[in-house]
Structure 1
Amino acid sequence: MLAAVRGGHLSIIEIILQSMETSVRELGAFREEMLWEAVRHDQEAVVQMLLVHGTDVNALPYANGRDHGCAIKIAASQGYHHLVRTLLDHGADLDCESQAPIIAAAQGGHEEVVQLLLEYGASMEEAFISAVDGGQVHLLKYLLKRGVDVQAKGQSSQTIGMKALERAIITKNPAMISILIDLGVPINHDNPTPYDNPMVIAKTFSAEWIVNYLLSLGAEDREVDLDETPDTFLEDCYNLQMLRGGIRLTERTWEWVGKY
């Protein structure tokens, strides 16, 4: 059945149902697994059929320890804008339990999906910070044209720009760091706490070459006691480097993340 779903073979699905002497509605939770597979493999006709037959659009199919996310998050992460619209029209939740679809779409640089989700009321702040997080320069520029104010207070006590700069430092992205600083995001501050200072974040969660890059941009050096910050993942600890899209973020590879 799942093989037929992945291939979009509605006629074969119907033959299997007939051989089982059952209907889609009687498949129970298995319908949700079928929905996830149909979305993952971009089979819109199957998705439509399942939703018409009462499948829960917001279900988490693999809930037993396998956090793939709800259907709209999967569609958004793949850039399937037509499926995102279909799911939204059938009541898909913009605040999916595992991850908001706007985050997945923006991290992946899927501009058309981001546009659609914003039309339906998704958070511009989440889109902006996630675009930075995913190294998506083109999407960052689009959101700035849409009116994102990096100096505005976000959901936390930080401004949107400060939160975005934090993500750019942690994900080791000099291009994003430079853009945000050019937009007026402060590189030297202790707001709301000294631990939010860009240099402290770089020394605690990033890498030496990012520290040097910040210094070249005018950041003030800060003393950081790494013994008191056990959650660090400095680049010198190669087994602890951040991964993004299967890529270890280093001085050599950071450009690959948004590009490929």
Structure 2
Amino acid sequence: MLNLIIYFNKVLKYVVLYTFISFLFPATAGSYEDFFKAIRNDEVKVVSNLLTRGFDPNTVSLNAEPAILLCLIHDSLKTFELIAKHPKTQLNVRNAHSETALMLVSLRGYTQLAKLLVSRQADINHTGWTPLHYAATGGHVEIIQLLLDESAYIDAESPNGSTPLMMAARYGNAKSVQLLLNEGADFEVKNQLGLTALDFAIQGKRPEAIKLLETAMKLANSDSNRTK
């Protein structure tokens, strides 16, 4: 409830701000409208012209959505790339669900955009859900590998303790599970509900993931017995 109140207060603030700007600076208000209309229609030339004239790429919409994230809502990928490359863009801004641009492109499998954000030093590791969780959920192995190569924490824990391997086991695919296992993901760790990656795979009815995880467990037990 508190988060909802904060969100609506933020929306109200920008509505008041826009009304104030419209009254004092009608030309700026027009640019504001043009900017977000261009984002919705993926009109990259219009956005480019506005940015060249000094329009702030971090401007938020009337519903408090940051411009770079609004591009993804409307699948305006050319405009997203333009804004992501702008030196003043705040790449780690979050939406109402605490998601960043890198998290969202990782979930959708936009590999080139993920590479762009990583090259511009977008945050890879942070508390809570991470880009690696999202890439694993989507089963996007190229992005998973990209994030791991950039030192993404492989056993990062979500707010309830779920790891990327758990998400891959239930929602991703066999390739994403295999990659995470190959890279050393902990298949024995449990989340706050006491569930392991194997439990996630079983709940999701993912036979390939189940087989991979059971094989990993057998190999680990075999190695453990040999060292005794």
Gaps in structure 1 of 5+ consecutive residues = 1-21, 221-260
CA-based RMSD: 3.5
Q: Choose between structure 1 and 2: higher helix proportion.
A: 2
Identity percentage over the alignment? 15
Shift of 1:157: 8.6
Trace 1:207-226 onto structure 2 (pairs within 5 A).
Answer: 207=205, 209=207, 212-213=210-211, 216-218=214-216
2:221 corresponds in structure 1 to: none
SS of equivalent residue, structure 2 residue 163: helix
Q: Does 1:71 align with 2:75?
A: no
Opposite residue 150 of structure 1, the aligned amino acid is I
Shift of 1:131: 1.9
Gaps in structure 2 of 5+ consecutive residues = 1-24, 219-228
* Partner Cα separation in structure 2 for residue 102 and residue 143 of structure 1: 10
* Partner Cα separation in structure 2 for residue 140 and residue 202 of structure 1: 19
Taking structure 1 as reference, are residues 168 and 36 closer, same or farther at Cα in structure 2, changes over 3 Å only?
farther
Shift of 1:72: 0.7
2:146 corresponds in structure 1 to: 142
Opposite residue 182 of structure 2, the aligned amino acid is D
Q: Deviations over 1:77-110 (max 9, x none)?
A: 6543233213xx3444522324311112222333
* Cα contact 2:187–2:213 (8 A) shared by 1: no
* Cα contact 2:165–2:197 (8 A) shared by 1: yes
* Partner Cα separation in structure 2 for residue 131 and residue 215 of structure 1: 19
1:252 corresponds in structure 2 to: none
* Partner Cα separation in structure 2 for residue 202 and residue 142 of structure 1: 24
Q: How many residues align?
A: 183
Opposite residue 25 of structure 1, the aligned amino acid is T
* Partner Cα separation in structure 1 for residue 29 and residue 148 of structure 2: 48
Shift of 1:181: 1.5
* Partner Cα separation in structure 2 for residue 46 and residue 24 of structure 1: 15
